[in-house]
Structure 1
Amino acid sequence: MRADRLVSLVLLLRQRGRLTADTLARELEVSTRTVLRDIEALSSAGVPVYAERGRHGGFALLPGFRTELTGLNHDEALALLAAGSGRGEQVFGLGAALASAMRKVVDALPESHQAAAGDAAQRFLVDPETDLLSRRTVTDEVPDATMMAVRRAVLAGHKLRIHYAATGRAPQWRTVDPIGLVTVRDRGYLLATRSGEDRTYRLSRVLAAEELPEAAERPDRVDLDRIWRERSARFLSDDHITALVRVSPRRREELLRTVRAVRAEGPEADGWSRLEVTFQDARHAEWALWQLGTDAEALAPQSLRSALRDRAAMIVARYGDAP
């Protein structure tokens, strides 16, 4: 870990010039004292880093010093920089690692391409935090220590002990064999088996995690895409309700945030969308569509239409006369 940090420190000084110890500490997520020790280690190793004292002082590299990193062409670097502008790294707790990787990508470019790639990457924005209606995108929050333990167990192939809060149940400790991690619409999931049975855990409900020394019982090779499709199909075949819905374009995203899954979607002549969606149960479907008011219409099943009609009739009756 220290070797990676030393490389990141050198790249920061190369790309930004003179930086204070406090700034380096914030960027590297360590203490100022650690930065000073790292600077001393670099100097001892022959890296030409020097200190400038005074109000505008800091640490800098001698002009012309360059690290030896494999080069990338402009389009390769641009693709990585654009991908790195998204928020997927937040789901698996890889934000600091991504920042370090991006510094290495930029430094690997020929000097003549660095400015052009940096400017081009600024023209791309992938998955911003808010949409055009200023609604914030909700990303699952997982404590760094918990996410690190889960990630280590998945990559090392070790058993994992998790304190999991299933919906409507008290949190319980359970030991699982981790298979892989999946992120869907900024929600992270752990695919695992428990006592040989398939299990899917939402990461935001993992309250604590501990990597165990025992090897996990799992195949050496895995096709996460196939496993996810199979588990999704089984999930949708459970006791959920599927509905055919029309929704206005301005409330479409709101509907999508409440449904369990989207089976099919197509445009309507009036600009609305027709979707076949899955809800947890009839109560969930009625609640979700009621929130959308006249901006959505349940076409099927008839029981859902009747429930919404009866609820609307009760509201009309309640407010039909002056108090």
Structure 2
Amino acid sequence: MGLPRRRADAAPCGGADGVGYGRTVRASRLVSLLLLLQARGRMTAAELADALEVSVRTVYRDVESLGAAGVPVYAERGPAGGYRLLDGYRTRLTGLTAGEAEALFLAGMPGPAAELGLGSVLATAELKLRAALPTDLADRGARIRQRFHLDAPSWFREPEPTPHLAALATAVWEDRRISVRYRRWQAPREVTRTLDPLGVVLKAGRWYLVAAASGQVRTYRVGAILDLTVLDEPAERPAAFDLADCWQEHAARYEQGVYRAEARVRMTVAALAQTTYLFPPAMSRAAQDRADAPDTDGWVTTTVPIESIRHGCVELLKLGAQVEVLAPPELRERIASTAHALAALYPPPSEPQPAGTPPPAGPQPGVAAPPWEPHSGVAALETPTAGTEVPAVEAVVAIRR
């Protein structure tokens, strides 16, 4: 059981240092209260207490202190009442600590900002921030930039062209409806949709649009948008919509829904450890969570989720001879067919053949045909949808017709 959280208005430990600590905490809280009212407008005492993690009585005392210091804060009574600042009042006080200033400079993402059409805006904002900060804090920002760099895209993936991202970001910001021509996987491949854009998300170097269509919230890959027109119509945005919560729900639902089958397998303990690096996260977690105790030969039996027979074959082949498929029989047959086809290309070491020697023409005794249709003499394995984040496979084998 965790310890109870200490409230900001709780009395500090005794001693002279405790008195100084209490004054520092209260001064920081007064600044936070002032900035909350400046940013949000009217707030009730209960809302302020919740945001500051103090009691309502403490809020009353802090508001009186701000008023005594000359800050024009007023109380409005009634059901819609609360505390607010005098219209037009702004404070130049930010209360930034050294760590907070460093975090602001570290949080800047020039690449994504430029893709959104905000590159110059971000640069201007940073210049204004540096000008407003004391010299020592501004220098810390430059030092941070020279020592930390954020590179969002994953390895071995070219940046996806997103020519309509800037226009899309404008429509999202201005709450304007859009018409898009979109390329999808199923037929018909190209469709036209009228959407209410709700937000954009950058995930592993790729941009996604979250939008409402026909009363349902859906996700679209921005790189698949072929044409985009910003309409002169207001977009309808649900009052309770939260982009972060919506995206997390979508990501969880996608990960659960993409795996439609399971495979029962045996693998070595070493192979089980390698699944962390070779399998998609959901497959790796399931393999390790559902693994039995190792037998005397160091093999474990476990169950992994798969998208399809083809996808399961591609993923499990990464473990080579350290895995055996027990079920389903279709997957076991496909793995066996692939193994026999590989054996035809690579004879045993006792029968060396020059590299590039093609196998004998026609079907070979005991050798099954490759489980996919070759194309131009070479069969290419289909890249699995859920495996896009898996590191590059150690070897790529071309199976000839």
* Range class of TM-score, shorter chain: 0.5 to 0.7
The superposition leaves residues 241-296 of structure 1 with CA deviations (integer Å, 9 ceiling, x where unpaired) of 355795666982x644xx8x668376999xxxxx9876543323323444x35398
Letter in 2 for 1:217: E
Shift of 1:202: 0.7
Distance across 2 between alignment mates of 1:172 and 1:104: 44
Q: Is the 8 A contact 1:91 1:183 kept in 2?
A: no
Shift of 1:171: 2.4
The superposition leaves residues 201-231 of structure 1 with CA deviations (integer Å, 9 ceiling, x where unpaired) of 0111112211112222331331223322333
2:346 to 299, 319, 322: 319
Distance across 1 between alignment mates of 2:135 and 2:180: 47
State the identity %.
28
Distance across 2 between alignment mates of 1:154 and 1:276: 43
Q: TM-score, normalized by length of structure 2?
A: 0.49
Larger Rg: 2
Tell me if 1:173 matches 2:197.
no
The residue number in structure 1 matching 2:88 is none
Distance across 1 between alignment mates of 2:262 and 2:158: 25
Letter in 2 for 1:115: D
**Secondary structure class of the residue paired with 1:208:** strand
The residue number in structure 1 matching 2:362 is none
The residue number in structure 2 matching 1:222 is 241
More relative contact order in 1 or in 2 (CA 8 Å, sep 6+)? 1
**Secondary structure class of the residue paired with 2:312:** helix
Distance across 2 between alignment mates of 1:221 and 1:199: 16
Letter in 1 for 2:246: I
The residue number in structure 2 matching 1:118 is 142
Shift of 1:181: 1.7
The residue number in structure 2 matching 1:213 is 232
**Secondary structure class of the residue paired with 1:172:** strand
Q: What is the 5 A alignment of 1:101-180?
A: 101-127=125-151, 135-143=155-163, 146-168=164-186, 169-180=188-199
Equivalent residue pairs, number: 242
Letter in 2 for 1:177: D
C-alpha RMSD over aligned residues = 4.1
Q: What is the 5 A alignment of 1:10-159?
A: 72-85=96-109, 87-89=111-113, 92-127=116-151, 135-143=155-163, 146-159=164-177
Letter in 1 for 2:339: A
Distance across 2 between alignment mates of 1:70 and 1:138: 44
Distance across 2 between alignment mates of 1:250 and 1:301: 19
The superposition leaves residues 55-80 of structure 1 with CA deviations (integer Å, 9 ceiling, x where unpaired) of xxxxxxxxxxxxxx876442222112
**Secondary structure class of the residue paired with 2:230:** strand
Q: 1:280 to 1:165 in 2, by over 3 A?
A: farther
Q: 1:113 to 1:233 in 2, by over 3 A?
A: closer
Distance across 2 between alignment mates of 1:220 and 1:296: 53
Q: 1:199 to 1:128 in 2, by over 3 A?
A: closer
Q: 1:276 to 1:198 in 2, by over 3 A?
A: farther
Q: Is the 8 A contact 2:153 2:204 kept in 1?
A: no
The residue number in structure 2 matching 1:294 is 320
Q: Is the 8 A contact 1:190 1:200 kept in 2?
A: yes
Q: Is the 8 A contact 1:154 1:180 kept in 2?
A: yes
Q: What is the 5 A alignment of 1:233-272?
A: 233-236=252-255, 238=257, 240-241=259-260, 252=277, 255-256=279-280, 264=285
Tell me if 1:310 matches 2:329.
no
Distance across 1 between alignment mates of 2:304 and 2:124: 40
Letter in 2 for 1:314: A
Letter in 2 for 1:294: G
Distance across 1 between alignment mates of 2:303 and 2:160: 26
Shift of 1:165: 0.7
Distance across 1 between alignment mates of 2:104 and 2:279: 32
Q: Is the 8 A contact 1:189 1:201 kept in 2?
A: yes
Q: Name structure 2 gaps, 5 residues minimum.
A: 1-91, 266-270, 294-301, 354-358, 360-401
Distance across 1 between alignment mates of 2:332 and 2:242: 41
Distance across 1 between alignment mates of 2:131 and 2:321: 50
Q: Name structure 1 gaps, 5 residues minimum.
A: 1-68, 270-274
**Secondary structure class of the residue paired with 2:228:** strand
Q: 1:232 to 1:116 in 2, by over 3 A?
A: closer
